[in-house]
């Protein structure tokens, strides 16, 4: 995930509203952090788990939600997912989602609570595990908001569905939960909300787009089938490394020469494996790609064009038809876009809660993806709002600008955020958003 750039020029486009007093639940969330949320986050950070393997994390989240009176908790939804339902009379239904999986990264942050965890992934390989994208802040923040929504039940009417989602990093958890009946076994939402900590955004700040928030993201596997031979006799085989290298180069031509240059698109070959010895031409090469786009038309064009490019290059190198490359798309997610009217409304609501200066315009930088898109697909009729929450103190940006250490990116082994302001800000903002949608005006409209 998911980087943000906030420009001074863009800041002028935000319509300011009069400053308002901080809501009373803000102080309660801060006190809650010192009392229990901080230790909870520490436990999550020390004990990360990989996608679809989040059994201990899910159990801890189920325990924390069950400890809050008035929440109905269901486990094992879409694998390891947890769902909590708060019912409070007639009114709209709001889904609040937090993802919980870590990444196969060895933590090198130098933090005292750095993860030392290792786990066997769903592919059967043991790997180091780290919360290198901040999902530990999201689930802690979900508990914080849930507690305040129970405490403020006299201020709202409707239903809140709390979703603890597995496998966002494999862009499969949201889809798995929906396929397991999230929208049929539980109250179907009118709105779906989520937030993500952002290391490239200063602590205390919130930022959300009124349109596209994240690009689509697809994993594509290309298996090149060659003909093995001795390295001294390449003419006797068909070299899959040579063919694969041509495919890597040609794939960039898809982006550079077949996609409209004003439409963002990206193909990155993240892995290229083949062979076992210096003088043996292998009979197989594996390429692992990530494919990104900002609209569904471009996404589908790339996904259909990659097999064409791979197979035609193999043909040009004399590979027989029965040995052409195999191309699969094991996981992917559409573009994540906010509902424009909802984003304008909730951006203003959050500005009232945390201060106008702390809600800053969102500018897409990079092409991070998010499977939150599955919760708000058009076929569901659910309006979505996804916002970023700052995770890095301004002093760290100032130091980096002065020549110091750069701020680590998401998915880096050096990744670190300052948890207290991120969790507190995220929880205040989320609580404000839900109370707006389910408060007297929102509940009365039912929209």
Report d(CA 107, CA 126) in Å as an integer. 15
In terms of phi and psi (left: phi > 0; alpha: psi -120 to 50; beta: otherwise), the region of 378 is alpha
Q: 101 an active-site residue?
A: yes
Helix, strand, or coil here: 291?
strand
The closest alpha carbon to 270, from 316, 201, 199, 220, belongs to 220
Pairing outcome for strands 158-165 and 81-88: antiparallel
- Going by the DSSP 8-state scheme, the letter that residue 376 receives in this structure is G
Tokens of 279: 């003088």
DSSP-assigned beta bridge partners for residue 333:
217
22 classed as catalytic: no
Catalytic residue among 101, 218, 370, 436: 101
CB atoms within 10 A of CB 408: 19
Burial 170-184 (b: 16+ CB within 10 A, else e): bbbbbbbbbeeebbe
Angle of helix 419-438 relative to helix 38-46, nearest 10 degrees, comes to 110
Q: How many CB atoms lie within 10 A of CB 298?
A: 22
- Any idea what DSSP says for residue 144? H
Residue 388's closest CA among 215, 210, 213, 207?
207
Tokens 């269901």 -> residue: 74
Q: How far apart are CA 156 and CA 92, in angstroms?
A: 10
Contact 106, 3 (CB under 8 A): no
Q: Which of 64, 99, 136, 168 is catalytic?
A: 168
Closest CA to 4 of 206, 191, 156: 206
DSSP label of 187: P
Residue 352 in tokens: 């009232």
Q: Quickly list H helices, 119-163.
A: 135-151
76 φψ region: left (φ > 0), alpha (ψ -120 to 50), beta (else): left
SS3 content of the chain, % helix, strand, coil (to 5): 40, 25, 35
CA distance 353 to 355: 6
Q: Which residues are catalytic?
A: 101, 168
């Amino acid at each position: 995930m998911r980087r943000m750039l906030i420009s001074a020029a863009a800041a002028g486009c935000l319509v300011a509203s009069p400053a308002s007093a901080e809501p009373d639940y803000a102080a309660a969330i801060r006190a809650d952090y010192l009392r229990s949320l901080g230790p909870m986050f520490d436990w999550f950070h020390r004990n990360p788990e990989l996608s679809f393997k989040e059994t201990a994390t899910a159990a801890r989240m189920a325990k924390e939600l069950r400890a809050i009176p008035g929440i109905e908790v269901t486990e094992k939804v879409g694998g390891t997912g947890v769902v909590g339902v708060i019912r409070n009379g007639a009114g709209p239904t709001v889904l609040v989602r937090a993802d919980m999986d870590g990444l196969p990264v060895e933590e090198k942050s130098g933090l005292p609570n750095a993860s030392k965890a290792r786990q066997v992934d769903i592919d059967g390989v043991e790997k180091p595990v780290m919360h290198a994208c901040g999902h530990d802040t999201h689930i802690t923040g979900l508990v914080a908001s849930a507690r305040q929504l129970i405490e403020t039940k006299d201020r709202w009417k409707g239903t809140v569905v709390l979703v603890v989602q597995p496998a966002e990093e494999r862009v499969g958890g949201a889809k798995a939960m929906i396929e397991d009946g999230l929208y049929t076994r539980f109250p179907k939402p009118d709105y779906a909300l989520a937030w993500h900590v952002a290391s490239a955004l200063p602590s205390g700040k919130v930022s959300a787009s009124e349109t596209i928030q994240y690009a689509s993201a697809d994993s594509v596997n290309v298996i090149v089938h060659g003909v093995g031979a001795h390295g001294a006799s390449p003419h006797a085989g068909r070299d899959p490394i040579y063919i694969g290298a041509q495919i890597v180069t040609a794939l960039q031509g898809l982006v550079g020469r077949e996609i409209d240059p004003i439409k963002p698109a990206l193909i990155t070959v993240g892995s290229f494996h083949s062979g076992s010895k210096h003088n043996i031409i292998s009979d197989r090469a594996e390429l692992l790609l990530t494919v990104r786009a900002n609209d569904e038309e471009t996404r589908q064009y790339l996904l259909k064009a990659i097999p064409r490019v791979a197979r035609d290059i193999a043909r040009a190198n004399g590979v027989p038809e029965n040995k052409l490359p195999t191309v699969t798309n094991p996981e992917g997610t559409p573009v994540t876009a906010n509902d424009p009217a909802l984003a304008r409304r909730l951006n203003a609501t959050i500005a009232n809660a945390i201060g106008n200066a702390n809600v800053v315009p969102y500018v897409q930088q990079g092409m991070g993806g998010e499977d939150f898109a599955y919760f708000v697909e058009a076929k569901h009729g659910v309006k979505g709002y996804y916002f970023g929450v700052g995770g890095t103190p301004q002093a760290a940006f100032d130091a980096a600008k002065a020549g110091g250490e750069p701020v680590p990116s998401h998915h880096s082994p050096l990744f670190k955020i300052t948890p207290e302001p991120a969790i507190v800000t995220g929880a205040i903002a989320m609580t404000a958003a839900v109370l707006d949608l389910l408060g007297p005006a929102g509940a009365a409209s039912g929209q």
